[in-house]
Amino acid sequence: MTRVFKFGGALMKDADGIRRVASIVADYQLEPLVVIVSALGKTTNSLEELLGLSRIGDQKGREKVFIKLRKYHFEMADDLIEDARHIIFDQLDELFVLLNKALKETPADKYFHYDQVVGFGEQLSSLIVSAYLQKNGQATHLVNAHTLIVTDSNYTAAKIDWKLTENTIKSRVLPILENGEIVITQGFIGADHKGLFTTLGREGSDFTAAIFANVLDADEACIWKDVPGLMNADPKRFDDSVKLDNISYHEAIELAFYGASVVHPKTIQPVQHKNIPLKIRSFYEPESEATVINSETSKDNQVHKVIVKDNQVLLSIASRDLAFIAEENLTRIFKAFSRNKIHINLMQHSAVSFSVCFNEDDDKLQALMAELKEAFRLTYNTGLTLITIRHYTNELLEEFTSGKNIFLEQKSRSTVQVLVG
């Protein structure tokens, strides 16, 4: 029975987290297993901070963050490996030398620069995880995802070249599994046809797991989380949230599209194509029942699901002469969103205006408005909250919106979205 496991960085923020990964893996090591890891803790945030400091030329600030990040990884490895002569310390040092070199280069394309830097987090974590598993007597084989996941050159949101990726994974990974070794690799990262590093979008490690499951015809893919499973609402916000035992691929795609944080939006399709169950399991209670995502649809509408996205922008776009917002206007607007890599969470069209809701990012907002302001009249609000309810009732909608200022509301038969402030 072939399995693909993915462990997120929040689960591996300290040495105890990696010890727990090893304990879980030990229960499945006698069968073919691929383990995909994210960057440790908040490493990706630190790398993004380093990028920002590099681009503004703050060498002192960059050095401070760099030293702290290096210390974090070396201390983690030291705690786990307990052998100062182990090769992992030379390997970590080599990666930090390469990271420092990448940070000193400041290409004009900031998205390209992002991808050449941020993927170091996954490379560092996979080294540590693999070394610790080996120390525990578990036969592991570390394979760099840059040599397996082939993409286009759409940096920060690269698209998979499925044919080449399938060929590389089958030719390199299958022999390792057949040899009885556990494959360790990185989520989130790949490389384009020129061999330059790419990333699959933030939280793209889940997608990596689905890619491997699809190509290897796995019996299951499992995403280990710090929650009991897939919940109908964020338990940090709602005390009465409940675990979903089973939902369909279709329902999971809907939830992911609307922003459910437990499953990455692109994760579902690769496993659905092969009818591979996707399980969301508790990292801290591995014996408990998982949420299973499969083709079964009977339970989809039994429980309402609530997704809340904070820090939203509402941008309203109107023609300067009150003319209709026609198809040619919409084409121009959508192209501007695409060029600035802005994902639209909600949109509404009237005769003379077009309103769009998306995640706050001041740099992207300013770049977008600079591109549109000559042709259109723009107004915007920030700091809003987007509430999405699947399988809603009017009573439930009233409960969530009572006393709030509603900026935008959109309903379908099964879903309502409300933007409030």
**CATH number of residue 134's parent domain:** 3.40.1160.10
Residue 225 lies in a domain: no
**In a shared domain, residues 178 and 312:** no
**In a shared domain, residues 338 and 197:** no
Residue 123 lies in a domain: yes
Of 190, 218, 246, which residue sits at a domain end? Answer: 218
* HSE-up of residue 392 (Cα within 13 Å, Cβ side): 23
Residue 289 lies in a domain: no
Residue 245 lies in a domain: no
Angle 88-104/59-81 helices, nearest 10 degrees? 160
Asked if residue 224 lies in contact with residue 284, where contact means CB atoms within 8 angstroms, the answer is no
Residue 262 lies in a domain: no
**In a shared domain, residues 202 and 325:** no
Q: Say which CATH number the domain at 410 has.
A: 3.30.2130.10
**In a shared domain, residues 149 and 12:** yes
Of 218, 236, 252, which residue sits at a domain end? Answer: 218
Residue 396 lies in a domain: yes
Residue 271 lies in a domain: no
Residue 412 lies in a domain: yes
With CA atoms as reference, report the closest residue to 136 among 276, 8, 21, 304.
21
Tell me the pTM: 0.87
Which CB contacts under 8 angstroms, 24+ apart, belong to 366-374?
367/340, 368/315, 368/336, 368/337, 368/340, 368/342, 369/315, 371/336, 371/339, 371/340, 372/317, 372/333, 372/336
Show pLDDT as tens, one digit a residue, over the chain (421 residues).
999 999 999 999 999 999 999 999 999 999 999 999 999 999 999 999 999 999 999 999 999 999 999 999 999 999 999 999 999 999 999 999 999 999 999 888 999 999 999 999 999 999 999 999 999 999 999 999 999 999 999 999 999 999 999 999 999 999 999 999 999 999 999 999 999 999 998 778 999 999 999 999 999 999 999 989 999 998 889 989 999 999 999 999 999 888 887 687 789 999 999 999 999 999 999 999 999 999 999 888 889 999 999 999 999 999 877 667 778 888 899 999 999 999 999 999 888 889 999 999 999 999 999 999 988 999 999 999 999 999 999 999 999 899 899 999 999 999 999 999 9
**In a shared domain, residues 327 and 185:** no
Domains: count for the chain: 2
Of 218, 236, 266, which residue sits at a domain end? Answer: 218
Q: Determine the structural domain holding residue 23 and report its residue range.
A: 3-218
